Amino acid sequence: NDLLQIAIDGPASAGKSTVAKMVAHELGYIYCDTGAMYRAVTWAAIKRGIKLDDNLALEHMLSQIKISFAPSVKGQRVFVDQDEVTDDIRLPEIANNVSTVAAQLSVREALTKRQQEIAINGGIVMDGRDIGTTVLPDAQVKIFLVASVKERALRRFKENKAKGIKVNLETLEQEIAERDRKDSTRAVSPLVQAADAIKVDTTILSVEQVVAKIMKIIQKKA
C-alpha cells in the first residue's frame, strides 16, 4: 500500500484546512498547511518593517529566519524563530497582506522547495493554492475545492465570531473576493485548477459530506 501525496487546492475559505485535516486523520497521514507558511513569512516581514513587495529584501529575510511547525492536539502550531505565531497569522492584517508577499518569486521558490521536501515520502495531505499545479505535480490525488464567495464569507464570519473577532459580513466578502483576484492573477503559480484535479463544490455540502466525497476519490486511486 503506497503512501500517497494528496493535494487540496482552492480559493480562500473554501474549507481546505478543515477538510484536509480530517482526511489526513482518517488516513493516518501528515497534514501540511502551506498557507500558514505564506502567512508566517508575511508576519515576519511586517514585524521587520520590510516592504511586502520587495522581492530581494524578502529573499534576504528568508535566509535569516526559520519557520517551523509543531503538530499538537489543537492542530499545527507555527513558529518564526522562537516566536509562536499560530494565532497571530490568522488576524485580518495578515490575511489582507499575504497575497502581496505570496506573489514574490523569491518567497514562492523558497517555500515550494520546503514543501516538496516535507512531502517527499508521501503519506501527506497538503493544502494551498498551487500544490497540484506546481509543488506536487505528480500527486496521485488532486482536489480543487470551491464554494460561492457568499458561502465562504459566511463561514469565515462564523469562525471569526466564535473567536471573538468582529468583522462585518460584507467586508469579509469583499476581502475574500479581493484575495481570490490577487491569487488568481499573479504571474508566478497563480491559483488555477490543475488539469487532472477533481473539482468539489462545497457550497451546499456539510464538512462530513465533503470528507466522504474526497475519501471516495482517494479510494478509487489507491
By beta-carbon proximity to ligand C5P, the closer residue of 12 and 218 is 12
| Residue 184 Cβ vs ligand C5P, minimum distance, rounded to whole Å | 10
User: For residues 151 and 95, what is the distance between their CA atoms, to the nearest angstrom?
Assistant: 18
By beta-carbon proximity to ligand C5P, the closer residue of 178 and 208 is 178
User: How far is the CA of 119 from the CAs of 11, 31, 34, 190, in angstroms?
Assistant: 21, 10, 11, 21
Sheet with 124-128, side-by-side order of all strands? 30-33, 124-128, 5-9, 141-146, 198-201
Q: Which amino acid is at 48?
A: R
| Residue 102 Cβ vs ligand C5P, minimum distance, rounded to whole Å | 3
Is 15 known as a binding-site position? Answer: yes
Residues found near ligand C5P in the complex (CB under 6 A): 12, 34-35, 38-39, 98-99, 102, 128-131, 179, 183
Is 128 known as a binding-site position? Answer: no
| Residue 56 Cβ vs ligand C5P, minimum distance, rounded to whole Å | 19
Q: Taking a C-beta distance cutoff of 8 angstroms, is the pair 145, 72 a contact?
A: no
Supply φ then ψ for residue 109, to 5 degrees: -60, -45
For residue 210, the 8-state DSSP code is H
Q: Which amino acid is at 69?
A: F
Q: Which helix (H) or strand (E) holds 77?
A: strand 77-80
Is 14 known as a binding-site position? Answer: yes
Is 16 known as a binding-site position? Answer: yes
By beta-carbon proximity to ligand C5P, the closer residue of 150 and 181 is 181
Is 134 known as a binding-site position? Answer: no
By beta-carbon proximity to ligand C5P, the closer residue of 155 and 179 is 179
| Spatial CB neighbours of 5, under 8 Å, sequence gap ≥ 6 | 119, 122, 124, 126, 136, 138, 139, 140, 141
| Residue 219 Cβ vs ligand C5P, minimum distance, rounded to whole Å | 25
By beta-carbon proximity to ligand C5P, the closer residue of 74 and 216 is 74
| Residue 113 Cβ vs ligand C5P, minimum distance, rounded to whole Å | 13
Is 137 known as a binding-site position? Answer: no
Q: Taking a C-beta distance cutoff of 8 angstroms, is the pair 36, 69 a contact?
A: yes
- Binding site as annotated, residues: 10-18
- Binding site as annotated, residues for ATP: 10-18
